[in-house]
A and B are shown apart, each in its own frame.
Chain A
Amino acid sequence: MKRPRREDIPGLVVLSAPLLWAVAFMFIPYVIIFTYSFWLKKYPTFVPAFQFGNYAQIFADPQYYQVLFRTGKIAIFVSILSLLMAYPFAYFLVFKVRSTRLRALLYMAVIAPLWVSYLLRAYTWKTILGSEGVLNSFLVWTGILGQPTDVFLYNQFSMVVTLTYIFIPFMVMPIYTALEKIPKNLVEAAGDLGVTPWGTLWKVIWPLSLPGVIAGATFTFCLTFGDFIAPFLVGGPDGVMVANVITSQYGAALNWPLGSALAIIMLIIVLAVIELSDRAQRAGRIGLG
């Protein structure tokens, strides 16, 4: 279609709407936040300026860069743990379950929790892990513990448990998809050539499923990195993550410039991870078609 004809014009108008939306609500906001990150906090709010003070503060003040490290650490932990649980699940579904109905049912069973409120699912861990919660009362009731302990809640352990719980379904989905795409005859060929099931898993299945693993891990890492709900509910003082700091800067502290600078840092980190992951996925993508 070289020349736009008269009848095509309404179509082009319609197609321009998403472009305008993207510019207005996706591009300009990022520009604004970038601009704000250079502004100055001046009592009671903040004023336009061009200074790197906010960024300097982040890198100089341990209060801020430690939070960044902690957030990264937790995000990595959560990604690894959810991978450790999601991979066997997906593997089992794809390679061990024969009946397609059962497989679909189990898959839905893993995905279904995603449709239930995130807030409430995180909140229930608070009730489960608390000193008056389900876990403690169970342990006391069975006699394993003498009295309730508060070691389960309000620390990094509880955050990792909660976040891993949230992200297992997100991990299962891309890994399941990647495993499904592996032609069954590759596995059979490996067996035919005398490779043990473990060997097949390690040498054939794992490498071919890697793009799915990377996709899931990236997704988990990025969203965990930016989460502020789990820290708020089950985090406690040493479980503060970057997103909480940003939230407080936008809240009581009224230091939007600092908040914006932190957000930009978070944005850069997340974009870098996404870019690395894209490259890794492309490099690992072997044509299975």
Chain B
Amino acid sequence: MKPIIEIDHVSRIFNGKIVAVDDVTLDVAEGEFITLLGPSGCGKTTLLRMLAGFEQPDKGAVRLDGHDVTHLPPYRRDVNMVFQDYALFPHLTIAKNVAFGLERLRLGRSEIGRKVTDALALVGLSDKADQMPHQLSGGQRQRVALARAIVRQPRVLLLDEPLSALDANLREAMQVELKHLHSKLGLTFVMVTHDQTEALVMSDRIVVMHRGRIAQAGTPSDLYDRPETTYVADFVGTSNLIPCEVASVTRDVIEVDHNGIRLRCPARRSVATGQKVIAGIRPEKLRLVAANDAADANMLTCDVEERLFHGNSIRLRCRLPSGESFLCDQQLSAAAAIGTVPEPGQSIRLAADPDSISLFTEDDRA
């Protein structure tokens, strides 16, 4: 099926020097909820603005539903955007704000009224129709911005860090609400955010960007469980990155060595013995074991340096005999109370889950 958005080798260079977007190619399927994820300056917002029409690519083309829209102004594209600071028109009521886009379509007055009422009901703000933007809270303004963007039923809805200005509790609620809205409306959503939790919760697909390029694109679990570069491994979730050397390679198993510690994982890529690699282990994939368990591969003995309380888990900062420090998260459940969690200064033993170990070669350092 033809993708609804085709970004074809697009580049954007500012002032001839700053490369904001570097030869990006991406297809978005219709009805998808895709998120551009990355830190500030990675090019995600520029890319979004090129979809909206506020920026023009210096190279490449953007196609919407097969039509080339690369140089088309925003008011000719069937795309609508929810701005980061909402950009509500301060001199218009909420209802008139939402109606603005419909009035540009020269629809009949009663039809506009009906659509506005429906849109406001959808976001739960029917009673605020006659108020002014400055009378609403941040969360309410955000929903107005949403209503205003979806009332024209665009093919694609763009969201520029929609939740960044909300406080934590509201953010979580809105994440779920947006996801519901997406499945209810069936529109294609393209969202930009720097918050990886948001991306993981809401997206069908995530595109991680780094310095103007795509680092990795895939489903949330793809990115989380099978990161392709050290950058992605540590940006999406946290990852311990331990430098190792390949000790042995068989058809099914690769064994790497870090100062005598042996780590074994399934053979998912081709490496040679003696090659320098980085082993990635997520903090929550380490299990506390008793000191007298048989010493085997995937066992790490270390000293606890610090303990950080995270509410439902405890993060231990540990140090290996080699001097390498890393993190280990211990879930606090009904069975494991805080009393059982190791104290600083203690020496502990951790077992790493082999299936969760990622290997990165020199080329994968982003």
**Hey, which bits of chain A sit against chain B, CB under 8 A?**
2-3, 5, 7
Contacts and interface: CB of A to CB of B under 8 A. Distances in A.
A41 B73 CA distance: 62
A2 B56 contact: yes
Contacts of B71: 3
A3 B70 CA distance: 13
A3 B73 CA distance: 11
A208 B8 CA distance: 54
4 contacts: A2-B56, A3-B71, A5-B73, A7-B73
A11 to B, nearest CB: 13
A3 B72 CA distance: 11
Chain B interface size, as a band, is: under 10
Interface in B45-85: 56, 71, 73
Contacts of A5: 73
Nearest to B71: A3
Top 4 closest A-B pairs, CB basis?
A2-B56, A5-B73, A3-B71, A7-B73
Nearest to A7: B73
Contacts of B56: 2
A5 B72 CA distance: 10
A2 B73 CA distance: 12
A7 B71 CA distance: 14
A67 B71 CA distance: 65
A5 B73 CA distance: 9
A264 to B, nearest CB: 42
Nearest to B54: A1
Contacts of B73: 5, 7
Contacts of A3: 71
Nearest to A1: B56
Contacts of A2: 56
B280 to A, nearest CB: 43
Nearest to A8: B73
Contacts of A7: 73
A35 B73 CA distance: 49
B16 to A, nearest CB: 13
B29 to A, nearest CB: 31
A273 to B, nearest CB: 38
A231 B71 CA distance: 64
Interface in B312-332: none
A3 B56 CA distance: 10
B60 to A, nearest CB: 15
A263 B71 CA distance: 53
A5 B71 CA distance: 10
Interface in B199-253: none
A7 B73 CA distance: 10
A212 to B, nearest CB: 30
A213 B71 CA distance: 51
A275 to B, nearest CB: 31
A56 B212 CA distance: 67
A75 B71 CA distance: 59
A6 to B, nearest CB: 10
A3 B71 CA distance: 10
B137 to A, nearest CB: 26
A193 to B, nearest CB: 36
A5 B56 CA distance: 13
Nearest to B72: A5
A207 B71 CA distance: 52
A7 B56 CA distance: 17
B151 to A, nearest CB: 24
A1 to B, nearest CB: 9
Interface in B13-59: 56
A168 B205 CA distance: 67
A236 to B, nearest CB: 55
Nearest to B58: A2
B74 to A, nearest CB: 11
A5 B76 CA distance: 13
Nearest to A2: B56
A288 to B, nearest CB: 24
A3 B57 CA distance: 12
B270 to A, nearest CB: 47
B11 to A, nearest CB: 15
Interface in B267-299: none
A173 B71 CA distance: 48
A254 B225 CA distance: 93
Interface in B68-105: 71, 73
A7 B72 CA distance: 12
Nearest to A5: B73
A186 B165 CA distance: 30
B46 to A, nearest CB: 15
Interface in B150-198: none
A2 B58 CA distance: 11
A10 to B, nearest CB: 15
B71 to A, nearest CB: 8
B359 to A, nearest CB: 45
